[in-house]
Structure 1
């Protein structure tokens, strides 16, 4: 592990609870510390740089709506009547950092983030981008936040779809999942996007254990985000056809006919490292 005199190891609880930070100090043994000083801090990915946050709301629920106004999911274009330029599907995908994301937003409209934007003035991305920005802004305004990877059940009936949400910490120390992507009214989810029910978004470790225990069907977990990827097919006859089910076509109108999957994508649990 190298010769560093002070090492930090991030370990995620196998129950999907808070990860612990373990400081390994030679001669002193491990010292387990909580996350109080971990998730309020920005990382190279979430750091917004010199962004002026003085005009931003402090309530994470309001920040969720703000993020929703700044982005368009790459598969939402047809649903909102916006023909996404081809180059934007590529430029957004290459933006790994919030600083790059904000730079693109400024280039499309040099205005405060709180201003209402047209579709053409928004960033085109995926659930990861929604979650990353919603992780960055609460941290910048004083609320500890983190990204969680797992599987959403609100996109395609019967499918646990690979997804990302943001969790923000409440005053009592508990964490609340928020889904900025589904905050748009047209998603019509049966829950408050700022308080995603845990049973509608099992984190990856929980999904893995459920599949290993036989309480969940691995074939119902996968990735259903882009017709080009075509990476999810269930063993269910309803998903084995050469055409995606009606629920998927309604969610993603651009999904092509004649898709074929390459199997499910259930993986070992991810750790909950800060993003």
Structure 2
């Protein structure tokens, strides 16, 4: 009699990034058995496509077939454990990906054929999902409801006078803004030595801002990222959605997430919004 094993893990990456990480050899190699150096990955990420992950040195592996794929929220696959030359029974695994808290809640449901194997599988899934939790992220997405109409929320990003009412208020911050496509901006604090500079790539009145973004701080120069901010009317206010795309994928996005949350919360608290 099969036994259902359910394991969950929150991953600080978007569902489409987590989904993609299951479907290519390169993607799986970034998180599956990362501490087993001779692991090989053969993955055909389509319905009916097969996968094989194995380590000759450890004498273990797993193979199966993708039976259902619904990007970016669902994967279903068959699962056969390999122990040396011995293949276990064919089982089934379902992976649900749900957007949660700026990241993804990953829920793995494994129908285990032998109840005695449940605890071993639990430990195995906790290990690989723990690795997935540290998957390098190529972007972060944050939202903030602002009590202003989209035109006001949009304008607050594009003038020194308005930026000074919410972006690092109370600090010795300077704001230089040329609000046109190809124009640049610079926000700097002499007190902290921190700042951000960039160029506007797209400006759509009351709807969308796309800009390059380079963080300034003591130390080596940061790479140039892309930040997209969209504004949508929502329940009498504006839902501001910010997507920060990193030039180099990062395992730890704690600082940019915290920084953006603080400035977006400050935007929502503007007294004259």
TM-score interval for Structure 1 and Structure 2 normalised by the shorter chain: under 0.3
Q: Which has more helix, going by share of residues?
A: 1
Q: Larger relative contact order (C-alpha < 8 A, sep ≥ 6)?
A: 1
Q: Which has more strand, going by share of residues?
A: 2
Bigger CA radius of gyration: 2
TM-score by structure 2 length? 0.24
